[in-house]
């Protein structure tokens, strides 16, 4: 099941020539496996959309390559097996939602029944006859997803699919994506919403300033759970913690110390503190959110270091 559905090698896009050019995507090595929901995470302008456009063959890489389903990106044979919604839905404003899908379906000679099924799937069946230009942003977005679903593609590429959706619409969209993955379709999803990615993605790739900083499972990215202890005197507390967990596993955070130990060792650690005569004020198990990890990694100038840290911590987890 580890077949690679999308793979990029040294994928690079530079706009403009020479040193004055802007490097939008910088040697990105991305791998998406069959059947997973892959989250492509990054701040606005990080190069997410540009990378996805190259994966779809809409723009040509300056260097490197992208393969989809084992063939070069952009080949007709590949493109018709991908459903995509890239940078907002692009439809004819004067046509109804349904006629827009009928037009797109004709490019692959798909039966009309698929159009209605796709509308049904994104809850637009009763508005299908209305003109696209009369749709709300959320409905336009859903029509874009409907177009991407037509023809049961092997891979579905969704660029910020929850953009412009209200909270209920976002929840529906996430439910739909999870459902697609359950049905065996591979979903490549870009987002700047961490909660979204944390909730529905199996693996994530984090991109900032055109570089793929890390690619891993969500849980590995967040790292293990840590013990957060407030005890006085603090210097002695640190010394004891280091003795128990090793020097590298202890970190000071304000008044508290963070100790990397498995949760089942919690009583052992607390007992040690008490036995040594320390005053223990607070013991909690702290989990890093993806948000913390993300900001750690994408903070300006430190990302390479952070990525190294992360890679080593990932190795430790394995």
Partner 1 sequence: MSAATSLDLRASAPGPSAVLNSTRADLLRLRKWPAVWVTIGAWLALNAMFAYLFNYVTYSSGTTNFSTQGESRAELLAGLLPSGLPATLPQGMPLFGGAIMMVLGAIIAGNGYGWGTWKTVLTQGPSRTSTLAGSLSATTVLIAGVALATLVTDYAMSLAVALAESRSTALPGLGDLAQSVGVAFLVMEMWAMAGYLLGTLARSPAVSVGLGLVWGLVIEQLLRGVGGSLAWVDTFTHFLPGTSAGSLVGQMVGVDPGTPDATPGLLDALSYDRALLMVVAYLVLLPTLTWWLVRRRDVV
Residues that bind partner 1 (CB under 8 A): 3, 34, 53, 56-60, 69-71, 76-84, 86-95, 99, 102-104, 106-109, 144, 147, 154
Nearer to partner 1, 141 or 298 (CB): 141
Q: Which residue lies nearer to partner 1 by CB, 76 or 167?
A: 76
116 or 309, CB closer to partner 1? 116
Choice between 46 and 104, CB closer to partner 1: 104
Residue whose CB is less far from partner 1, 42 or 144: 144
Distance, in Å, from the CA atom of 199 to the CA atom of 203, rounded to the nearest integer, reads 11
Largest CA distance in the chain: 78
Tell me the closest approach of the beta carbon of residue 195 to partner 1, in angstroms: 28
> Do 107 and 79 contact (CB within 8 A), yes or no?
no
Task: Tell me how far, at minimum, the Cβ of 207 lies from partner 1, in Å.
Answer: 18
**Residue nearer to partner 1 on the CB measure, 144 or 161:** 144
What distance in Å separates the CA atoms of residue 187 and residue 138, rounded to the nearest whole number? 20
CA distance 2 to 173: 26
Is residue 22 within 8 Å of 14, Cβ to Cβ? Answer: yes
Q: How far is the CB of 148 from partner 1 (least distance, A)?
A: 8
| Shortest Å, Cβ 288 to partner 1 | 36
CB of 146 to partner 1, least distance (A): 12
8 A C-beta contact, residue 73 and residue 57: yes
> What's the CA gap between 241 and 226, in Å, rounded?
12
- Least separation in angstroms between residue 127's CB and partner 1 is 17
Which two structure tokens, joined as six digits, stand for 130? Answer: 């209305």
Q: Is 271 left (phi over 0), alpha (psi -120 to 50) or beta?
A: alpha
Query: The tokens 């209920």 sit on which residue?
Result: 168
């Amino acid at each position: 099941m580890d077949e690679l559905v999308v793979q990029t090698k040294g994928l690079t896009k530079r706009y403009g020539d020479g040193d004055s050019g802007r490097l939008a995507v910088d040697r990105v090595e991305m791998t998406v496996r069959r059947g997973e929901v892959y989250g492509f995470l990054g701040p606005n302008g990080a190069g997410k959309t540009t990378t996805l456009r190259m994966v779809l063959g809409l723009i040509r890489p300056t260097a490197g390559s992208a393969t989809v389903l084992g063939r070069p990106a952009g080949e007709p044979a590949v493109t018709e097996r991908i459903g995509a919604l890239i940078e907002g839905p692009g439809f004819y404003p004067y046509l109804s939602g349904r006629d827009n899908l009928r037009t797109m379906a004709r490019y692959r000679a798909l039966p009309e029944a698929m159009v209605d099924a796709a509308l049904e799937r994104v809850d637009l069946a009763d508005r299908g006859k209305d003109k696209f230009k009369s749709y709300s942003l959320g409905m336009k977005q859903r029509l874009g997803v409907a177009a991407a679903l037509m023809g049961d593609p092997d891979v579905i590429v969704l660029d910020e699919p929850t953009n412009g959706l209200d909270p209920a619409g976002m929840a529906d969209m996430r439910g739909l994506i999870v459902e697609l993955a359950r049905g065996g379709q591979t979903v490549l999803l870009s987002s700047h919403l961490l909660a979204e990615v944390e909730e529905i993605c199996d693996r994530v790739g984090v991109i900032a300033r055109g570089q793929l900083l890390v690619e891993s499972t969500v849980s590995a990215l967040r790292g293990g759970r840590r013990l957060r202890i407030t005890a006085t005197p603090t210097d002695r507390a640190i010394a004891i913690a280091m003795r128990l967990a090793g020097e590298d596993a202890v970190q000071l955070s304000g008044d508290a110390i963070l100790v990397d130990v498995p949760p089942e060792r919690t009583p052992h650690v607390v007992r040690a503190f008490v036995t040594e005569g320390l005053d223990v004020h607070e013991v909690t198990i702290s989990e890093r959110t993806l948000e913390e990890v993300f900001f750690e990694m994408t903070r300006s100038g430190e990302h390479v270091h952070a990525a190294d840290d992360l890679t080593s911590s990932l190795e430790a987890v394995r």
